[in-house]
Amino acid sequence: MEDKEKELPPEGAAEGDDAAETAPVPEGGGPDEAAELKSRLAYLAAEFDNFRKRAAREREAQAAFGNEQLLRVILPFLDNLERAIAQQGASPEALLSGVRMTYDQFLAELRKFGLEQVSAEGRLFDPVLHEAIASVPWGGAAEGTVLAEARKGYLLNGRLLRPAQVTVAAAPPREGAGDSPADAGN
């Protein structure tokens, strides 16, 4: 803020010369302006309170119905699974084929929402994307290679939603590792 100092008349000027022109204008315009400012402040406070309440109601509605679009997409898959359950006399091959089609259709719909599966098997272990649940000595693959997937991992719009649980190849034990002379003294 600027300093509002009282302006002094120029040197040599008489005390009464142009005093009205150079005198600072006092802030505030009296009781009417103060009452108007108080009224405006009360209005703004009420407006802000209404905004806060409206925003809270919208957040509650978003929490209650935010997944509606996703759930509407999922309902046809529930219908397909119910149809599969109702097919008691169907051959196992036909049932499996229907379940696979439903799975593929479901995955395709979830991709529209930004869901991606994390590829793990046969790739190098990545602690950002994978959670190692076992390490197995394995000579047929490089150390740190994912041998098997216990549970798939998923990304949502590029961010990790759930890591893949994997079994990782470890270096196979070396022949005679426990037979060195240094180990014999222990």
Residue 42, pLDDT score: 95
Assess whether pLDDT exceeds 90 at residue 95.
Answer: no
How do residues 157-172 score in pLDDT, each as one tens digit?
999 999 999 999 998 8
pLDDT band at residue 25 under the 50/70/90 scheme: very low
Structural domains of the chain, ranges and CATH numbers in brackets = 116-173 (2.30.22.10)
Q: Let me know: does 143 contact 169? Beta carbons within 8 Å.
A: yes
What confidence category does residue 45 fall into, taking pLDDT thresholds of 50, 70 and 90? Answer: very high
* pLDDT of the residue at 178: 53
What is the residue-averaged pLDDT of the chain?
81
How would residue 56 be classed by pLDDT, with cut points 50, 70 and 90?
A: very high
pLDDT value, residue 4 = 47
pLDDT at 66: 78
Quote the pTM value: 0.57
Model pLDDT, residue 68: 84
Q: How confident is the model at residue 92 (pLDDT cuts 50, 70, 90)?
A: confident
Q: Report the range of poorest mean pLDDT among 98-107, 146-155, 167-176.
A: 167-176
